[in-house]
Amino acid sequence: MDLDLITSPEPDDVLHILYLTAITAEAMTAALAAGRRQMDWVGVYMLGCVTALGGGSVRDVVLGHYPLSWVAHPNYLLITGGAALATIAIARYVHHLRHMFLFLDAVGLVVFTVIGCKVAIGLDLPFIVVIVSGMLTGCMGGVLRDVLCNDVPLLFRAELYATVSILTGLLYVGGEMAGLPYNLVLATSMSAGLALRLLALRFGWSMPKFIYTHDLH
């Protein structure tokens, strides 16, 4: 019937499929973090949901954007929690799949960022807040995971993670403001962010660190 849709899917459909892939992958990497802390199966389920859906939830609470995505689409709780549980069964093979997981995690970072920017643009928020909305969506799930695992968030020390989110957001918002075609803006911003993240992982790039050893008191 709609051949055009088959041969050339709508970009937002592609984005949605990437989103579902990304929350699945984020939940699975969170399950591994839970396993490192010897959490029980319920803990694995919950940490999977919080990590995969927490970034968007923090964004929505902070922007007053109700209902939250998993309240409107409760099946997201089944997808992410189910993926986390499934990870227990395949844990012995996961180590061999780690490059795939790191790739999917990078995809998640840029997909979440773009979705976060879109939400803020839809609320007519100023430029800087749009970028922050993308960052919160892309990065806060991992921060919540690390806080619940009692670690200093990796985000504050890791390989260009937040920087990738900022770059992706700037390219996406800049392209939108310049009136470029949506497909092009989406593809360019996400590809550039993904490339930077993968290069940073490959070559161990990181932002300079600030090291301070005095106490203020």
Candidates 3-11, 94-102, 180-188, 191-199 — which segment interacts with a copy of itself by CB under 8 A?
94-102
> Which amino acid would we find at residue 54?
G
- Under 8 Å between Cβ of 166 and 145: no
Distances in Å between the Cα of 137 and the Cα atoms of 61, 157, 212 are 11, 18, 30
> Which amino acid would we find at residue 147?
V
Applying CB under 8 A, among 7, 8, 38, 93 the residue interacting with a copy of itself is 38
Total binding residues toward a copy of itself, as defined by CB under 8 A: 70
Nearest to 141 by CA among 19, 2, 16: 19
CA 117 to chain CA centroid, Å, is 12
Does position 179 interact with a copy of itself (CB under 8 A)? The reply is no
Rounded Cα distance between 138 and 148, Å, is: 18
Applying CB under 8 A, among 46, 83, 109, 186 the residue interacting with a copy of itself is 46
Does position 41 interact with a copy of itself (CB under 8 A)? The reply is yes
Binding positions for a copy of itself, 134-153, rule CB under 8 A? 143, 147-153
- Under 8 Å between Cβ of 189 and 171: yes
Does position 69 interact with a copy of itself (CB under 8 A)? The reply is no
Q: Minimum distance from CB of 190 to a copy of itself (Å)?
A: 20
- Under 8 Å between Cβ of 80 and 48: yes
- Under 8 Å between Cβ of 188 and 175: yes
Q: Return the structure tokens found at 89.
A: 């069964």
Does position 93 interact with a copy of itself (CB under 8 A)? The reply is no
Rounded Cα distance between 206 and 160, Å, is: 5
Does position 174 interact with a copy of itself (CB under 8 A)? The reply is no
Candidates 8-16, 17-25, 63-71, 173-181 — which segment interacts with a copy of itself by CB under 8 A?
63-71
Does position 32 interact with a copy of itself (CB under 8 A)? The reply is yes
Q: Return the structure tokens found at 24.
A: 């699945």
Q: Return the structure tokens found at 188.
A: 């360019």
Does position 70 interact with a copy of itself (CB under 8 A)? The reply is yes
Applying CB under 8 A, among 7, 64, 124, 203 the residue interacting with a copy of itself is 64
Interacting residue ranges for a copy of itself, rule: CB under 8 A:
29, 31-32, 34-44, 46-47, 57, 61-64, 66-68, 70-71, 74-75, 77-78, 88, 91, 94-95, 98, 101-102, 125-129, 132, 143, 147-153, 155-158, 162-163, 166, 206-217
